[in-house]
Amino acid sequence: MNPESMPSPSEFDFIDWVRQQSVGRDEIVLGIGDDAAILSQSPDREWVSAVDVITEGVHFTSETSPKLVGRKALAINLSDIAAMAATPVATFIGIVLPKTRGRKYVENLYGGLLDLAKEYDICIAGGDTNSWDGPLVISVTVMGTVPNGQAILRSGAKSGDWLFVTGAVGGSLNSERHLKFDPRVREARVLVGHFDVTSMIDISDGLAGDVRHIAAQSEVGIVIEGDQVPIHSDVDSTRDPEVRLNHALTDGEDFELLFTVSPQEGTRLLRKANSLNLTVSKIGECTTGSELRLRINGAMTPFPVGGWCHELGY
């Protein structure tokens, strides 16, 4: 317990409520209720974990529905697990609640979380509950598993590989899509089950920002074909094509997957995508060197400087 915690018995009463809502999974030997959870380990699989913190006033506002806040807090982590091509298993939720928010608010918040946890068959296996005079902060950790050595990293792209994106990008923050998106867990598993995916990342900071991570960590250059980028219908259709493309490349919070495959695998993917129920577009290619380039109507144009980055004050 923390000195800033909700005064008991409400904290323990709340934890008990969460425990009753949470559903188990085979890997969970011990969930909520003790000092720590116990998860079983299988010799042929590896654990993959990710944590994301979201804060009121930064990632959502005090007006955002608590159900959607809870949903997003978990969904963004599931997207990271998807980007590794892992299967999510368990989640741990740390919440710091404003003292002014009552039990109803936190139950609604958990309502959004629990619905998504059920949909993706993951167990809420633990957490921590505090309250304070500041804004709402939620830290979500997700643990997933993947067969040994089969997690897909950002660093495996090779010169000549084709660059693909799932779904469509742009306009997520102006619509409610950034709160309601479906993390691409199934798509990632189908992709690695059928194709040799060389690198993968999820798009949180914007396609142009996130493609930099693949380029830098794989030590390749990348050319994006602007005309091939699937622009989401959430991007204002009355704007000029170049403005729309810029939204698609830099808005962020799309939570689609950006990945690379060899040209042979890419050809096969384009042929089989429909029958595998995958929506993918080839949007570029990896090159030698380290340059990032954008081609529109056959002409190279400056690569957008995009991507969200938190100021750390140093």
171's tokens? 């306009």
Q: How far is the CB of 228 from ligand ADP (least distance, A)?
A: 43
Q: How far is the CB of 27 from ligand ADP (least distance, A)?
A: 16
Q: Which residue is nearest to Mg ion (CB)?
A: 128
Strand partners, 27: none
> What is the total count of residues that contact ligand ADP (CB under 6 A)?
14
Our CB check for Mg ion shows the closer of 115 and 128 to be: 128
Interaction residues for ligand ADP, span 29-88 (CB under 6 A):
32-35
Interaction residues for ligand ADP, span 95-134 (CB under 6 A):
95, 124, 126-129
CA dist 99 and 17 (Å) reads: 19
197 to 236: interface string for ligand ADP, x by CB under 6 A: ----------------------------------------
Q: Is 94 in the site for Mg ion (CB under 5 A)?
A: no
Of the candidate spans 12-20, 74-82, 121-129, 167-175, the one that interacts with Mg ion by CB under 5 A turns out to be 121-129
CB 101 within 8 A of CB 133: no
What one-character DSSP code corresponds to residue 289?
Answer: S
Q: What does 44 interact with, of ligand ADP, Mg ion, none (CB < 5 to 8 A by kind)?
A: none
Strand partners, 299: 296
54's tokens? 């979201």
What one-character DSSP code corresponds to residue 228?
Answer: G
**How would you classify the pairing of strands 280-287 and 162-166?**
antiparallel
Q: What does 57 interact with, of ligand ADP, Mg ion, none (CB < 5 to 8 A by kind)?
A: none
Q: How far is the CB of 93 from ligand ADP (least distance, A)?
A: 4
Our CB check for ligand ADP shows the closer of 76 and 152 to be: 76
Q: Is 15 in the site for ligand ADP (CB under 6 A)?
A: yes
Q: What does 219 interact with, of ligand ADP, Mg ion, none (CB < 5 to 8 A by kind)?
A: none
CA distances from 280 to 160, 164, 212, 283, 309 (A): 18, 6, 20, 9, 27
53-62 own/partner pairs: CB under 8 Å, 24+ apart: 53/137, 53/138, 53/139, 53/140, 54/137, 54/138, 54/140, 55/135, 55/136, 55/137, 56/98, 56/135, 56/136, 56/137, 57/135, 60/179, 62/135, 62/136
Binding stretches for ligand ADP (CB under 6 A): 1, 15, 18, 32-35, 93, 95, 124, 126-129
Contact footprint for Mg ion (CB under 5 A): 128
